[in-house]
Amino acid sequence: MVASSLGPPPLAVPHPRRWAALVLLCAANFMIILDSQIVILALPAISADLAMSPASAQWVLSANLLAFGGLLLLGGRAADLLGRRRMFLVGTALFLAISLLSGFAWSAGVLIAARALHGVSAALMAPTALAILTDAFPDGPDRHKALAGWAGIASFGAVTGLLAGGALTELGWQWVFLVNVPVALIMLVLAPVLLPESRDRDQPRTFDLAGAATSTGALVLLLYAIVLVPTAGWLSTRTLALLAGAIVLLAAFVAIESRSKAPLVPLHLFRSRSLVGGNLAMLAVGMLPFGLSVTMSQYAQTFLGLSAWDFGLRQVVMPLSATIGAYAGHALVTRWGVRAVAGAGMVAMAAGALLLLITVAAGQWRLDTFAGLAVFGAGMGVATVAAATAALAGVQRAHAGLASGLNTAALQSGGGFGVAVVVTVIASFSTIATGDEGGYRAGFIACAVIALVTLAITWTLLRSRPTADID
């Protein structure tokens, strides 16, 4: 049935501490982003201290990615059925315990296992926090402001990770994990006071185990295939087998959900053009920053000879401009609507990527390099707010956790896809005639193409003022 209202119905009495709750929820998002950035910078020190080979060191990152991305849908649905505040507390408690275990890890195997469990905690915290946010802020200007804060603090977490990662690693790589402990303790104390409890009371508290197994399996196989692509290639037997397995499990998941009386993911949700278009935009928002950062990092450190610290300082302009873009995004979405703002964000990211071609042509880091990063970052900020607003606007409160899980899964999967696609493009276009320079140029062009293709798709799917396409 077509509904004319925007998003979830408003709460009868708005939660009196919703703005204080927003600060706490943004702190959780900040810590998840900060953790991922700091670990990347600390990986060389971790590898040296724990005698890890390059292949095993990759699993410090990949184990977290697989668990996080694979369990997001299940985490979001658990929040809807069991209570969003309750599951947020469970995830935060696990985050605290695993940060301690990671900081005192005595072997590579223990650290990799801890990072996988960290992914489980993040899969509970991230969609649950976003679901609580959408439940506390009915659709409208206040929600746009809240989502801007959510997106802006993520960019700030990335900046902090770039700046603090080196300093903490100098003290000892253990501190990149132990720094989480006091913040997690504060969140555990404040969450019962500040966060409202909510869940879908109209649905039976039963889990679609077959749907959970097939969806989680499909996501894990897909993400594992993405992890392998940079080393194994897109057409290797292992990569193709994993992708085929993911497709088979996805087909099984759709068949199961279409027949289930209490599905993990009600398929009628995907009749919402706003939800589908918003999540496709969020997929691109994941792909583009990761893909561009990989290209820029390799170019700056191998071709221009910058140190990791020097590059990190120069790269800060992108997440800083993304923070500004996110805060501007809420006003723009309220005034212009999600389609125009998402489109403007994609155009800006394409323009920023193309501006960075000038750096490759000049063979040095110049003022226009900063301009390209700034334009790209601003586009990323406004596009993130527009994508999240569109994806969550037409969703009933009963499905807020699941919709948040889908949105976060799109972002995480996009990051993996972005790295895999761009690394493949760089390798394919690095020739004897052009050297690595040709590959880097192709990497930036690939980012621009991804942005423009996404612009065409989302412009078709999204409406200026998203409505709930379904009840």
Q: Render pLDDT for 20-57 as a digit per residue (tens, 0 to 9).
A: 888 888 888 888 877 777 776 677 778 788 887 766 77
Asked if 88 and 181 sit in the same domain, the reply is: yes
CATH number of the domain residue 184 falls in: 1.20.1250.20
**How does 12-23 read in b/e, with b if 16+ C-beta sit within 10 Å?**
eeebeebeebbe
Distances (CA, A) of 61 to 29, 75, 237: 18, 20, 23
- Residue with the larger pLDDT of the pair 393 and 324: 324
117 falls within a domain: yes
Domain for residue 438, yes or no? Answer: yes
Confidence (pLDDT) at 139: 64
Check whether 433 has a pLDDT greater than 60.
no
In a domain? residue 395: yes
Q: Compute φ and ψ for 373, nearest 5 degrees.
A: -65, -40
At 244, list the tokens: 């085929």
pLDDT confidence of residue 116: 87
pLDDT at 2: 31
Whether residues 223 and 181 fall in one domain: no
Residue 201's pLDDT is what? 57
Question: Mean pLDDT lowest for which of 210-219, 383-392, 394-403?
Answer: 394-403
- Does residue 471 fall inside a structural domain? no
Q: Which residue has the higher pLDDT, 80 or 87?
A: 87
Regarding whether 156 and 181 lie in a shared domain, the answer is yes
pLDDT at 467 over 70: no
Q: What percentage of the chain has pLDDT greater than the value 90? A: 11
| Residue 27 counted as domain residue | yes
Sequence-separated (6 or more) residues with CB below 8 Å from residue 244: none
Q: How many domains does the chain have?
A: 2
Residue 183: pLDDT band by 50, 70, 90 thresholds?
confident
> Beta-carbon neighbour count of residue 261 at 10 Å?
7
pLDDT class of 235 with cuts at 50, 70, 90? confident
Residue 437 lies in a domain: yes
pLDDT range class, residue 353, cuts 50, 70, 90: very high
Contact between residue 191 and residue 132 where contact means Cβ atoms under 8 Å apart = no
Name the region of 5 (left: φ>0; alpha: ψ -120 to 50; beta: rest). Answer: beta
Which pLDDT score, from 0 to 100, does residue 6 have? 36
Among 57-61, 239-243, 319-323, 451-455, the least confident range: 57-61
Mean pLDDT, the chain, rounded, equals 78
Higher pLDDT, 463 or 9: 463
Residues 231 and 159 in one domain: no
Question: Which long-range CB contacts under 8 A does 45-52 form with residues at least 24 apart?
Answer: 45/169, 45/173, 46/111, 46/173, 49/173, 50/105, 50/107, 50/108, 50/111, 51/108, 52/108
- Identify whether residues 286 and 324 lie together within a single domain: yes
Residues 88 and 179 in one domain: yes
Q: What is the mean pLDDT of residues 410-435?
A: 73
Return the higher-pLDDT residue of 301 and 318.
318
- Which residues on neighbouring strands pair with residue 56, listed in sequence order? none
Q: Do 135 and 189 belong to one domain? A: yes
> Residue 239: which domain range?
211-259
Instruction: Using the predicted structure, report yes or no on whether residue 4 has a pLDDT greater than 50.
Output: no
Q: Same domain for 393 and 253? A: no
Question: End of a domain among 259, 278, 296?
Answer: 259
- pLDDT above 80 (res 191): yes
Q: Which residues of 169-190 are buried (b: 16+ CB within 10 A; e: fewer)?
A: beeebbbbbbbbeebbeebeee
Answer whether 31's CB lies under 8 Å from 183's CB. yes
Asked whether residue 94 is assigned to any structural domain, the reply reads: yes
In this predicted structure, what is the pLDDT of residue 12? 40
pLDDT by residue (tens digit) across 241-296?
Answer: 999 999 999 899 888 888 877 777 777 777 778 888 888 888 888 888 878 877 88
Assess whether 253 and 238 both reside in one domain: yes
Contacts of the segment 253-256: beta carbons below 8 A, 24+ positions apart: 253/211, 253/214, 253/215, 253/218, 256/208, 256/210, 256/211, 256/214
Q: What is the percentage of the chain residues whose pLDDT exceeds 70?
A: 82
**pLDDT band (50, 70, 90) for residue 350:** very high
Q: Please tell me which residue, 355 or 48, carries the higher pLDDT value.
A: 355
> Among 66-75, 139-148, 285-294, 395-404, whose mean pLDDT is lowest?
395-404
Mean pLDDT of all residues in 56-73: 75
> Is the pLDDT assigned to residue 470 strictly greater than 60?
no
Same domain, 248 and 327: no
Task: Provide the pLDDT confidence category of residue 464 given band limits of 50, 70 and 90.
Answer: low
Of residues 67 and 231, more confidence is placed in: 67
Q: Is pLDDT above 90 for 207?
A: no
* 304 and 157 both lie in a single domain: yes
User: Does 104 lie in the same domain as 158?
Assistant: yes
Specify which of 10-19, 151-160, 320-329 reaches the highest per-range mean pLDDT. 320-329
Is residue 11 in a domain? no
Q: What is the largest CA-CA distance in the chain?
A: 67
Q: Looking at residue 76, what is its pLDDT? A: 76
Mean pLDDT of 331-355: 89
